[in-house]
Amino acid sequence: MTTRYRVEYALKTHRRDQLIEWIKGLLAVPFVLHSQPTAVFEPRGETVDQMATQTQKRYAEIMRDVEDIVNDHINHQRTGTHNRSKLKLLVPSVANFFTPLALHDAFIWQDQRRFISYRRFVPPSFNDIRLLLNTAQVMSLVRGGPLELVTFDGDVTLYDDGQSLTPENPAIPRIMRLMRNGTRIGIVTAAGYTEARRYYERLHGLLDALHVSDLTPASKQNLVIVGGESNYCFRFAGDSPDLLKPVPRKDWLLDEMRLWKESDITELLDIAEASLRDTVKNMRMVATIVRKDRAVGIIPQPGHKFSRETLEETVLIAQKILDMSDVGSRLPFCAFNGGNDVFVDIGDKSWGVMACQRFFGGIEAAKTLHVGDQFLSAGANDFKARLACTTAWIASPAETVQLLDEITELDEMQQRKKR
Ligand code: IMP
Ligand code: MG
């Protein structure tokens, strides 16, 4: 029988994250059993502090159990049997983990900041758990030794959609702090330009700050920009007018990427372009088609805005058509909803992150963190980074700043422990 739930679920799986939904479901039980909504009009019995202590204990126990289930999955990964883990049965879409997740400690940490256990009417939400997973991830990374590489998405992660990284951006001093501690930085963005000048225009706040900083010339080299998902690579260069120089392809391109044929690239982009044109026509979109070397997209004509539904429809059609084409099985591509545009790029961010890892001499996945805003399973471009490294899913540039502060705080705690 096809229930309404099933129909909706089938149509919306791409908008759900199964791991987050599963954890949310687990935490709903202690919420239902221990929260005390009637206490607001029947002020007898337990105080809110007592309730919160009791509820926190239950939530934290569950997070400890989830942590163990993740560890069991990691043990299965080591023996190549991850498809048989208990977690895989519970959350079929779950992929591999590069590090354990400190979920118990991260819950206590987030609860002290978000007062999840104090809530009587609002159960642990998608955002609570998304942030909890981010904290658990960075805790494990910091505890596991130096964080060697952090890659950032651009739009929505470092600056607002379509904007630029300007000098007053609060992420700048925090990125510089990471660099001062020896962490390498990559900016892995979909924005695809062939010239350094365009990247300087988008990122000048950071590049100028780095240029005038007291970091050693060697440390300043620890910043690269990978654009068009994984198509262009530039490194910081103080002696160049745009403060960026292209990196020779031999220094960053992975062997597999060398096999991508020009004829396949053209064929894939032709199919994508035809699909975009068709949807623009059918949905009466007031759009301009943009065709580039390694991408094709639609952007709104001045003064127009596309609805979320139209953007998603456009992406899902292009994705499906490309999935079903022969060339789509030979060549990696990424179709995504950029907020008010849709692009199909050659390659994806897993290749972008791996290119950074390679450029910096072979950094491991377990020592790399990618921070981005697009982690839905279809129509989102940061999602693929999960194949190459650990990730943090943020929802705004302000959350990126918070995450970087969290890394600093955890790092300082770790240093104090060592002393
Ligand atoms: P990101 O969030 O940094 O990955 O940037 C995504 C945005 O970059 C898209 O929404 C587009 O507005 C913009 N963009 C510019 N050029 C390209 C391109 O060649 N491919 C994809 N996106 C592009
Ligand atoms: Mg983004």
Query: Which residue has 């805005």 as its token pair?
Result: 305
C-alpha distances in Å from residue 152, one per residue of 99, 133, 159, 344, 354: 19, 17, 11, 20, 13
* Nearest CA among 272, 298, 296, 297 for reference residue 285: 298
Phi, psi of 184 (to 5 degrees): -85, 150
Domain 262-346, CATH class in plain words:
alpha beta
Choose, from 153, 345, 382, 411, the residue flagged as catalytic.
Answer: 153
Rounded CA separation 272/310 (Å): 16
Mutate to test the pocket of ligand 1, among 152, 189, 198 (most ligand atoms within 8 A of CB): 189
pLDDT digits (tens, 9 = 90+) for 126-164: 999 999 999 999 999 999 989 999 999 999 999 999 999
Does any ligand 1 atom lie closer than 6 A to the CB of residue 189?
A: yes
Q: What is the pLDDT of residue 39?
A: 81
User: Measured in angstroms, how far is the CA atom of residue 155 from the centroid of ligand 1?
Assistant: 8
Q: 332 falls in which pLDDT band (50, 70, 90)?
A: very high
Nearest CA to ligand 1 atom 2: 155
In which residue ranges of the chain is CATH 3.30.70 found? 262-346
Predicted TM-score (pTM) of the model is 0.95
User: Measured in angstroms, how far is the CA atom of residue 189 from the centroid of ligand 1?
Assistant: 7
Asked if 17 is an active-site residue, the reply is no
- Looking from the CA of residue 229, the nearest atom of ligand 1 is 4
**H or E stretch at 188:** strand 184-188
Asked if 153 is an active-site residue, the reply is yes
Domain 146-254+355-376+394-418, CATH class in plain words:
alpha beta
In which residue ranges of the chain is CATH 3.40.50 found? 146-254+355-376+394-418
Residues in the chain: 419
Rounded CA separation 311/289 (Å): 14
Q: What is the pLDDT of residue 183?
A: 98
Q: 107 falls in which pLDDT band (50, 70, 90)?
A: very high
**H or E stretch at 336:** strand 333-337
Task: Please name the residue ranges forming H helices in 235-348.
Answer: 255-258, 262-282, 308-324, 326-330
pLDDT digits (tens, 9 = 90+) for 270-305: 999 999 999 999 999 999 999 999 999 999 999 999
Q: Above 80 in pLDDT, residue 74?
A: yes
pLDDT cut 90: percent of the chain above it: 89
Rounded CA separation 118/25 (Å): 18
